[in-house]
Amino acid sequence: MSKLKEIRDKLNITQEELAEKSGISVRTIQRIESGAVPKGYTLKTLSKALDISEKELLEDKNDESIEDSSIDLLPNSVTPVDIDFQKIKWINLSSLPFIIFPPFNIFIPLLLSFVFKQKNLLTKQIISLQILWTICAPIIFMLGIFLKLGRSFTVVLLITIVLSNVFLILRNLAEIDRKQKMFFKLNFSII
């Protein structure tokens, strides 16, 4: 029996309850209970959620097995420890100066993600949102023109479309800064 399962049984909580309390997925908890060794962010989060020390969670495990084992928390084997949130914020903000030049609001964050070596779920979400906005903005603008509601409506619509992207970028920036996740995110990735 794994140490995590033993502790969880003592506390009389299910895997789902532990997942909800810690923010670690049920699948990751199942892997740990099947023999994978938690490390880094996962180890710290689980020990905090269970109110025990990290050593207690790793009891009867040697250091070599900790280094050899890995748990995928995010796609492409990126763990939250590998994510530099300061660089993620810069990648997100890099779209802002280019919102009036739509191709660049995609290419600049994409370029920065490669330069900063931040190819993870957050950067994919940032770029996917900009791609979706770049596709939707002209469609909405064209629909506004075809409705023929007047020149002032068209100007207001254009300003609203641009400000919507500004709001999207700044709101996600605030959420990344506070909670290290995105406020507006997609359930899929375009890239």
- Which residues on neighbouring strands pair with residue 78, listed in sequence order? 74
8 A C-beta contact, residue 81 and residue 63: no
Tell me phi and psi for residue 189, to 5 degrees.
-120, 130
79-113 pLDDT tens trace:
444 678 899 999 999 999 988 888 899 999 999 99
Q: Where are the domains of the chain?
A: 3-73, 80-179
d(CA 54, CA 43): 6
CATH match of 3-73 with 1.20.1250.20: no
130-181 pLDDT, tens per residue?
999 999 999 999 999 998 888 899 999 999 999 999 999 999 999 998 988 8
Has residue 52 got a pLDDT over 60?
Answer: yes
CA separation, residue 20 to residues 8, 12, 182 (Å): 13, 15, 19
Whole-number pLDDT of residue 170? 95
Identify whether the C-beta of residue 34 lies closer than 8 Å to the C-beta of residue 4.
no
Q: What is the pLDDT of residue 39?
A: 84
- Taking residues 28-42, what's their average pLDDT? 87
User: What value does the mean pLDDT take over residues 75-80?
Assistant: 44
pLDDT range class, residue 54, cuts 50, 70, 90: confident
Res 62 pLDDT > 60:
no
